[in-house]
Amino acid sequence: MTSQTFFHPMKILHTADIHIGYDTHGRLDPATGLSTRWGDFKSAFEFMVARAIKEDIDLFLFCGDAYRDSTPTPTEQRIFSQCLRPLLEAKIPVVMLVGNHDHPVSFGRVSSIDIFPNLIGNVVLFSKPGVKDIETKSGKVRVVGLPWPVRSNLMSKDEYAKLTPEELKQKIYEIYTGFVDVQAEAIRSEKLTYPAILAAHLEIDTAVFSNGSEKVTIITKDPQFSVQSLAKPEFSYVGLGHVHKHQELNNGQHPPVVYSGSIERISFSEHDQAKGFVMVEIDAGHRASFRHVQTPARPFVSIECDVTVETEPMEKILREIDRNKLTGMATAFEGAVVRVRIKCKDAQKSQIDTDVIRQSLSGAFTISELSLLSEEQVRRIRAVEMTRFMSTGEALEKYIVQNEKLKPLREKILRAAAELEAEEHGVSAE
């Protein structure tokens, strides 16, 4: 392989989890006939692409999950391709990885983003582990790509068809980490003179899924990877997709191991997360620095107020609303999706004026919920929310944590659930 000396700093935009197609908390836009939330995702995407061109990036790195699911409508596909077009017109190479939301359940079908390299030039797609040297205006960069590991692809092979879910998970882990080791060794043996990056759509075992709390470790059918298994010194940067919260997982050491996070909020589980993308700069010594650039994502404001011991519940409710007002807005909650949950006694409900509460939320994009709830209702609602945007295993684990009687049976319940899910999905599961 011909070596090339790398002289110029290289700038890469790293993003993931764009998820065109989510319409939660939206309404019909009469001007377009589409959900207003589709417009939110499109606006965030357009902002990101405009910033990429303004900063004269060398490479656009998309680490998976283009749509809500693997069967996007033609309209969703048009939105995604229209947003990409300015990058291609500017002759900026685009690298795409297949994420878990991009891949179809049925074995043999192509992903929802497989079409892009066939229709548009200068797009590199990783639908399986691979490596590609890419020419940019600042020189070459090697990209080692790890798309979401699809179990059905492995189970279709005779030698793996009879593996248990746990054995299959371990085999995927071995294949992926072995591939990373081989590529790191290749970089060393070739004495590569240009930078190499690792791009992956995977779950890291130390990832934080929501502000202030780590994801509870669960028995899952999908492999989890350690930072150490990916953070090889031969790579200048490790760019990740799958977790919607932006974070760096290698504690400031080389190379940075970074989830870009998503560019727009999907649900209230993300209401306190900064949304955006990552600008990466690789210097002449192949060392990377990065910064998170926030998109103009729609604000989500969640107000929860317990007035069960209050003699004047409205006073406390209005104080809590005032405390949550957005700063720098023309009106207190301008453009925000707002949720208000008031925990109260039945006898207090007549003292609570919901019309006054709505007036105090002036300017909100939508009031998605205004509820007067008993303690039992609050507990049940939280359990329902978990199943809406989390995997089955995540929701089940958190449900167990909230129920004291089930805690001693945690491991047994989770293992039984994993076995049932594997039996139900068989080869098609992923």
Residue 312 has pLDDT above 90, yes or no: yes
Nearest by Cα to 168 from 384, 425, 422: 422
The DSSP output letter for 210 is: B
pLDDT of 30: 86
Q: What are phi and psi of 206, to 5 degrees?
A: -105, 10
Average the pLDDT over 113-127 and give the result: 78
Domain with CATH 3.60.21.10 in the chain: 10-294
Given pLDDT bands bounded at 50, 70 and 90, which one contains residue 430?
A: very low
The amino acid present at 173, given as its one-letter code, is: Y
pLDDT-derived band at 53, boundaries 50, 70, 90: very high
Q: Is the pLDDT of residue 235 over 50?
A: yes
Indicate the DSSP class of residue 228. Answer: H
Q: Lowest mean pLDDT: which of 21-30, 207-216, 347-356?
A: 207-216
Coil, strand, or helix at residue 286? coil
Predicted pLDDT of residue 383: 55
In Å, how far are 295, 360, 392 from 65, measured between CA atoms?
A: 18, 37, 19
H or E stretch including 300? strand 300-306
Q: Which pLDDT tens digit goes with each residue over 63-98?
A: 999 998 888 889 999 999 999 999 999 999 999 999
pLDDT class for 58, splitting at 50, 70, 90? very high
pLDDT above 70 for 401: no
Question: CB burial class (10 A; 0-12, 13-18, 19+) of residue 212?
Answer: exposed
Classified as helix, coil or strand, 204 is: strand
pTM of the entire predicted model: 0.83
**107 vs 316 pLDDT, higher one:** 316
User: Which amino acid, residue 414?
Assistant: L
Q: What is the pLDDT of residue 103?
A: 77
CATH fold of 10-294: Purple Acid Phosphatase; chain A, domain 2 (3.60.21)
What residues have CB less than 8 Å from 42, skipping those under 6 apart? 20, 79, 83
60-64, 171-175, 182-186: least confident range: 171-175
Question: Taking residues 198-211, what's their average pLDDT?
Answer: 88
Q: Supply 402's token pair.
A: 């909230």
Q: Phi/psi of residue 153, each to 5°?
A: -65, -40
Quote the CA–CA distance of 206 and 230 in Å, as a whole number. Answer: 13
How do beta strands 288-294 and 276-282 pair? Answer: antiparallel
Q: Are 429 and 163 in contact (CB under 8 A)?
A: no
Mean pLDDT of the chain: 85
153 pLDDT exceeds 60?
A: yes
Mean pLDDT of 177-204: 97
191 pLDDT band (50/70/90 cuts)? Answer: very high
Q: How far is CA 28 from the centre of its chain?
A: 25
Query: 143 Cβ partners below 8 Å, 6+ apart?
Result: 61, 95, 124, 126, 131, 132, 133, 134, 196, 197, 199
Q: Which of 87, 99, 157, 165 is nearest to 127 (CA)?
A: 99
